Homo-oligomer: A and B are copies of this chain.
Amino acid sequence: MHGTDIRLARLFDDESGRSLITAYDHGQSFPLGARSGSPRRTLEQIVAGGPEGVLLTPGMLAQHADLFARRGAPSVVLRADWTLLDEPDKHELGERYRVLVDPAEAVALGADAIVMYLIARPTDGGMFADNVAAVARAAQQASRAGIPLIVETTLWGLRNEDRKDPERLATVSRIAAEIGAHAIKTEYVGDPEVQRGIVETVGDIPVLTLGGARGDDDAVITAAQGAIDGGASGLIFGRNIWMADDVVGTTQRLSAVTHGRVR
């Protein structure tokens, strides 16, 4: 067992074997604007909810490192890359992808895991090829640095009509697994049995599902439960947690679903 395995195992609850990670890496790509308020206040609530991990960017980690510098604090999951997420910008400027931080830098920043995108079916084939190569390279570097790489597989490329197409999500998730992902973050496709097919095809690594745009509370819980029923090892939810009126309560409800303490 190597550092990568030790750190990956620590992301998951010892009893349930599952993990709830709150994502708060949106400000790097989304237009938050001048009324979004202090990130510290938001992060304090996220941490108070008690998820197993928090996904955030290098700058937010550096600014708020004190929130994570205590025994029992959530694991730090670092966003290591960047893509253009704003739809009008993507159409006007072309799709774009860049790596921002390498695994050794992530370890130096205090991170316990890193997340990188693998964005299927962009209009520019060079971007996909570069993305595949960047993730593969990072997987080797992460193994050397002793930190796990979670690959976020999406159908955000502009050639996709259905961003939850199970066949295409399975294919891109398998590609991520083949090139070295230590875990997968992907969409919940809406059907536990179909989701199970995705979970199986990536092999012996955990799959966590993402929350996406803010939805209705019941729908969010249903999706979370469906993902767990479909074999997911956890959730990485963002806007459905930190944009909620009650961040702590929402985290706790999703945590209960994640760890099977509901129904």
Contact = CB atoms under 8 A, between A and B. Distances in A.
A39 B177 CA distance: 10
Interface in A102-121: 105, 108
Contacts of A84: 125, 128-129
Q: Which one of A59, A98, A99, A180 has the highest number of Cβ atoms from chain B below 10 Å of its Cβ?
A: A59
Number of copies: 5
B140 A105 contact: yes
Contact of A136 (B29, B101, B205): B101
A179 B133 contact: no
Nearest to A182: B62
Interface in A195-234: 197-198, 200-201, 203-205
Nearest to A36: B201
A92 to B, nearest CB: 8
Nearest to A31: B171
B98 A203 contact: no
A31 B169 CA distance: 10
Given A34-B166, A140-B58, A129 B96 contact: yes
Interface string A53-76: 000011110111000000000000
Contacts of A180: 57-59, 62
B136 A197 contact: no
A133 B98 contact: yes
Interface residues of A, number: 73
Contacts of A58: 136, 139-140, 178-180
A200 B82 contact: no
A56 to B, nearest CB: 8
Interface of A: 25, 27-29, 31-40, 57-60, 62-64, 82, 84, 89, 92-94, 96-101, 105, 108, 123-126, 128-130, 132-133, 136-137, 139-140, 143-144, 159, 166-171, 174-181, 194, 197-198, 200-201, 203-205
30 contacts: A25-B178, A27-B175, A31-B167, A31-B168, A31-B171, A33-B197, A33-B201, A34-B167, A34-B170, A35-B197, A36-B197, A37-B200, A39-B201, A40-B203, A40-B204, A58-B178, A58-B179, A59-B176, A59-B178, A59-B203, A60-B177, A63-B177, A82-B132, A82-B133, A92-B125, A96-B125, A98-B132, A98-B133, A98-B136, A105-B140
